[in-house]
């Protein structure tokens, strides 16, 4: 593989950049693979990369219905954080933070990781207490957390509404300074390029139409480009999880919902951090191009349409304007939607299934992007070793029947229904 470096950049400048190698190939599916990963999103690509890198398994195919990085990894708001209270989520995400910090070097691809810090605003004394508790839990797990009072928040984000007569005054906030953002497409492309260079076949425009299972064991998959035999199959398809589960006669604790995001016109640098509104569901950061990147609630009803409805967007942006009134002056540049695999406790599933050789990675809800490296790493381990790693042991499929839910927000089942 051609290394990306300043020297190669200069060298290729002499030939008008016309002689760069393709970043990944476009192979025809082979008859058989050791491992087939269904889904060429961030998680699937990362899984293939760590299968090759950590477990030396390179006879691997990624089967993608559309094009790689065209799903949620290209549709998110690029936030990376590990500000979770529960051990399962905190330790898993903090492991991921380490991978994020090393990612650009590891992949020889600039993913533009920017640890700019995230601030969750608090709007009452009770919320400050809850944040103090969460911050303490984070610190016990080795995650950085700082509780900020009103004055400290004002120093960092003076453009927020600090006037007295507002419905949700800012009391303070919880900050994770090491959280941040990254360039989402680069993450997908970086993983794809490295996985491809180690022998992984990235097969795009190939839809999975069925599975071959015999005597409780996976034998292969059926696709729009023919049957492919496989010793092991990993499903990593986010909002399409239920569609594949139906082909396996499985019913999962997952519903597919639509989540929208939007960006404003680009403006000069105004916001250094990621900020979330604490009295609703709204988050904002500023991209390197200057756009304000915003998101919030789900549209609220089951949906496979990758486009949203205006009432939800209006609701979300009303919260945004309550938090930072200057946002009302900006013009909207783009809105888009992605389909989320919403699990019933708000936490993901990375586990084996009742079918031998079939593995499941789903339930990422609002937080799939930041989990990309840790999800790929633990899913690769689960597939290669045929057992879960301690980092994803809590993300089991049977926790719903055993009662070991990971209910981060304390909202019970169907955490998205408001």
φ, ψ (nearest 5 deg) of residue 390: -60, -25
Q: 367-387 b/e with 16+ CB inside 10 Å = b?
A: bbbbbbbbbbbbbbbbbbeee
**Residue 215 neighbours by CB under 8 Å, 6+ apart:** none
Q: For another protein, what does the binding mask look like between residues 240 and 279, x meaning CB under 8 A?
A: --xx--x----xxxxxx-----------------------
Is residue 224 part of the contact set for another protein (CB under 8 A)? no
Of residues 352-411, which lie at the interface with another protein (CB under 8 A)?
400-401
Nearest 5 degrees, angle CA 370-CA 122-CA 113? 25
Cβ-based nearer residue to another protein, 28 or 251: 251
Is residue 311 part of the contact set for another protein (CB under 8 A)? yes
DSSP 80-138: E----SSHHHHHHHHHHHHHHHHHHHHHTS----B---EEEEE-SHHHHHHHHHHHHHH
Size of the site for another protein (CB under 8 A): 25
Is residue 310 part of the contact set for another protein (CB under 8 A)? yes
Question: What is the distance between the alpha carbons of residues 369 and 315, in angstroms, rounded to a whole number?
Answer: 24
Is residue 301 part of the contact set for another protein (CB under 8 A)? yes
Question: What is the distance between the alpha carbons of residues 288 and 376, in angstroms, rounded to a whole number?
Answer: 26
Is residue 1 part of the contact set for another protein (CB under 8 A)? no
Cβ-based nearer residue to another protein, 121 or 342: 342
Is residue 89 part of the contact set for another protein (CB under 8 A)? no
Is residue 333 part of the contact set for another protein (CB under 8 A)? no
CA dihedral 103, 107, 111, 117 (to 10 degrees): 0
As measured in angstroms, the least distance from the Cβ of 240 to another protein is 8
* Binder among 140, 166, 305, 333 for another protein (CB under 8 A): 305
Q: What are the beta bridge partners of residue 235?
A: 38, 360
* Binder among 304, 328, 332, 333 for another protein (CB under 8 A): 304
As measured in angstroms, the least distance from the Cβ of 398 to another protein is 9
Interface with another protein (CB under 8 A): 242-243, 246, 251-256, 300-305, 309-311, 344, 400-401, 413-414, 417-418
């Amino acid at each position: 593989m051609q290394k990306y470096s300043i020297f190669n950049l200069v060298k290729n400048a002499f030939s008008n950049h016309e002689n760069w190698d393709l970043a990944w190939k476009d192979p025809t599916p082979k008859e058989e693979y050791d491992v087939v990963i269904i889904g060429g999103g961030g998680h699937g690509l990362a899984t293939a990369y760590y299968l090759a890198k950590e477990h030396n398994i390179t006879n691997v195919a990624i089967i993608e219905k559309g094009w790689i990085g065209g799903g949620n990894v290209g549709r998110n708001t690029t936030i990376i954080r590990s500000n979770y209270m529960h051990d399962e989520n905190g330790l898993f995400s903090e492991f991921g933070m380490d991978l994020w910090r090393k990612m650009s070097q590891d992949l020889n691809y600039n993913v533009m990781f920017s640890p700019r810090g995230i601030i969750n605003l608090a709007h009452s004394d009770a919320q400050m207490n809850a944040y103090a508790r969460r911050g303490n839990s984070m610190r016990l797990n080795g995650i950085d957390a700082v509780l900020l009072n009103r004055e400290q928040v004002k120093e960092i984000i003076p453009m927020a509404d600090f006037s007295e007569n507002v419905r949700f005054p800012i009391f303070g906030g919880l900050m994770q300074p090491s959280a941040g953002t990254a360039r989402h497409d680069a993450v997908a492309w970086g993983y794809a390029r490295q996985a491809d260079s180690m022998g992984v076949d990235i097969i795009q425009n190939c839809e999975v139409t069925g599975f071959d299972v015999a005597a409780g064991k996976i034998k292969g998959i059926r696709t729009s480009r023919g049957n492919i035999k496989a010793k092991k199959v990993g499903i990593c398809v986010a909002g399409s999880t239920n569609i594949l589960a139906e082909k396996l006669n499985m019913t999962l604790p997952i519903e597919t919902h639509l989540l929208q995001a939007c960006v404003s016109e680009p403006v000069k640098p105004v916001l250094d951090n990621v900020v979330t509104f604490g009295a609703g569901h709204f988050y904002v950061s500023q991209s390197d191009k200057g756009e304000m990147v915003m998101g919030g609630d789900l549209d609220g009803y089951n949906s496979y349409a990758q486009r949203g409805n205006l009432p939800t967007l209006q609701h979300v942006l009303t919260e945004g304007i309550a938090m930072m009134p200057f946002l009302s002056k900006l013009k909207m540049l783009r809105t888009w939607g992605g389909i989320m695999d919403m699990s019933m406790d708000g936490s993901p599933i990375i586990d084996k299934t009742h079918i031998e050789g079939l593995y499941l990675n789903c339930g990422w809800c609002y937080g799939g992007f930041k989990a990309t490296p840790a999800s790929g790493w633990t899913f690769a381990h689960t597939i290669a070793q045929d057992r879960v790693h301690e980092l994803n042991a809590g993300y089991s499929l049977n926790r719903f029947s055993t009662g070991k839910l990971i209910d981060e927000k304390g909202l019970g089942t169907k955490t998205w229904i408001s």
